[in-house]
């Protein structure tokens, strides 16, 4: 089967691409950076640029599934300009893909797209399921709603749409984990915010398997891409401190201070989202790393 991936060169996309190639899929990918275009056996890069309406039609030939991951990083400072880029790189790129599929002959049957648990409201008590109406009223909530709505439009073309609301993705060398480890290793680690806020997370390996599961099981609809065992910020920092064998010398850093330093972006560490994995478990997906202890032991071995 031939799959077209956007955002294939990123943190999730690169691991996903390697896995799909190992399973025998043919991977075409779209990149906005000509320097990242490669052509190898079952692996073909094509230039696109949604902002310039640039697209190489060859990329779509024989493609049955699109995995849509493209989006500029939300870890950058949340300036007005960066926020605009975070939104347009997701919403406009999705609209551009829709326009291409509407206008061109194609064989695409399914779109599997990234979304984020940032859509859910900050709450210590609520359990967020896919049909939860408790939507975040800040920038992330607005962005994810627009992004998902744009992705759902593919259904109007008779294409199945599967959306993964992805939690904090853990991997050894990239993403959130190195950022969590660095301060602890350098003796300025601390519990951030109240410490009781809940992080819903997933090992990158499980996330990669989930995308393939969505294709092989022809999933459609929204699914939370998180493990069944979220952790509190305090549990996470203490687990890391134990594994890294480092003391925590600093006291807890209050949310108000994080807000002062990080601005609106502080929600990325202080917000609490207990997100349910029940729906994907009911589909029969078995997590390889359901618990934080095992995930960290694997990642930091
Ligand atoms: N990592 C997480 O913890 C996490 C959690 C929740 C949701 N997600 C979502 O999952 C998706 C993939 O995440 P990731 O961590 O792999 O992100 P990433 O490493 O930042 O990669 C995203 C990719 O998007 C492409 N891109 C960037 N700006 C673009 C633009 N203006 N137009 C079109 N493409 C653009 C880039 O590919 P090219 O340079 O090749 O064009 C880049 O490689 C993102 O949409 C992200 O929001 C991630």
pLDDT in tens, 190-203: 999 999 999 999 99
Q: Output the pLDDT for position 133.
A: 85
Q: Where are the domains of the chain?
A: 2-169+201-226+276-288
pLDDT above 70: percentage of residues in the chain:
100
pLDDT tens readout for residues 280-295: 999 999 999 999 999 9
Is the pLDDT score of 34 beyond 90?
yes
Which tokens sit at 126?
Answer: 């609520």
State the pLDDT confidence band at 148, using cuts at 50, 70 and 90: very high
What's the CA-to-centroid distance between 82 and ligand 1, angstroms?
14
Ligand 1: residue of 4, 5, 6, 7 to mutate (most ligand atoms within 8 A of CB) is 7
pLDDT band at 124; cut points 50, 70, 90: very high
Question: Which residue among 4, 37, 71 has the greatest number of ligand 1 atoms within 8 angstroms of its CB, and so is best to mutate?
Answer: 71
Rounded-to-integer distance, Cα 20 and Cα 3, Å: 9
**pLDDT score for 301:** 85
Model confidence at 4, pLDDT cuts 50, 70, 90, reads: very high
pLDDT one-digit tens code per residue, 211-254: 999 999 999 999 999 999 999 999 999 999 999 999 998 999 99
Pocket of ligand 1 (CB under 6 A): 7, 9-13, 31-33, 36, 50, 69-74, 89, 93, 114, 116, 166, 168-169, 175
Ligand 1 center from residue 185 Cα (angstroms)? 28
Residue pair 299/171 in contact by the 8 Å Cβ criterion: yes
CATH among 3.40.50.720, 3.20.20.120, 3.40.710.10, 3.40.630.30 for 2-169+201-226+276-288: 3.40.50.720
* Distance in angstroms (rounded) separating the CA atoms of residues 283 and 216: 12
pLDDT at 11 over 90: yes
Residue 73, C-beta contacts closer than 8 angstroms, at least 6 positions apart: 86
Whole-number Å distance between alpha carbons of 8 and 25? 14
The confidence score (pLDDT) of residue 215 equals 98
């Amino acid at each position: 089967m031939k799959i077209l991936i956007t955002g294939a060169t990123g943190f999730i996309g690169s691991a996903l691409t390697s896995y799909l190639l190992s399973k025998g899929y043919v991977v075409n990918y779209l990149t906005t950076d000509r320097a990242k275009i490669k052509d190898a056996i079952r692996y073909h890069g094509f230039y696109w640029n949604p902002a310039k309406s640039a697209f190489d039609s060859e990329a779509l030939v024989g493609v049955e599934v699109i995995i849509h991951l493209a989006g500029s990083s939300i870890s950058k400072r949340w300036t007005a300009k960066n926020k605009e880029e975070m939104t347009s790189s997701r919403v406009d790129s999705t609209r551009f893909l829709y326009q291409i599929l509407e206008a061109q002959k194609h064989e695409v049957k399914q779109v599997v797209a990234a979304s984020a648990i940032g859509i859910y409201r900050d709450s210590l008590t609520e359990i967020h399921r896919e049909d939860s109406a408790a939507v975040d009223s800040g920038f992330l909530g607005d962005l994810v709603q627009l992004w998902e709505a744009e992705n759902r439009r593919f259904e109007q073309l008779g294409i199945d749409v599967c959306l993964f609301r992805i939690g904090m993705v853990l991997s050894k060398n990239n993403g959130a984990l190195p950022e969590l480890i660095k301060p602890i290793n350098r003796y300025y680690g601390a519990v951030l915010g109240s410490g009781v806020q809940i992080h819903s997370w997933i090992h990158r390996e499980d996330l990669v398997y989930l995308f393939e599961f969505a294709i092989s099981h022809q999933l459609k609809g929204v699914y939370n891409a998180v493990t069944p065992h979220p952790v509190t910020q305090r549990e996470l920092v203490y687990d890391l401190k134990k594994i890294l064998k480092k003391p925590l010398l600093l006291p807890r850093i209050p949310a108000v201070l994080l807000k002062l330093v990080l601005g609106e972006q502080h929600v990325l560490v202080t917000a609490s989202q207990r997100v349910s994995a029940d729906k994907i478990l009911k589909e029969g997906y078995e997590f390889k790393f359901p618990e934080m202890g095992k995930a960290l032991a694997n990642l930091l071995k």
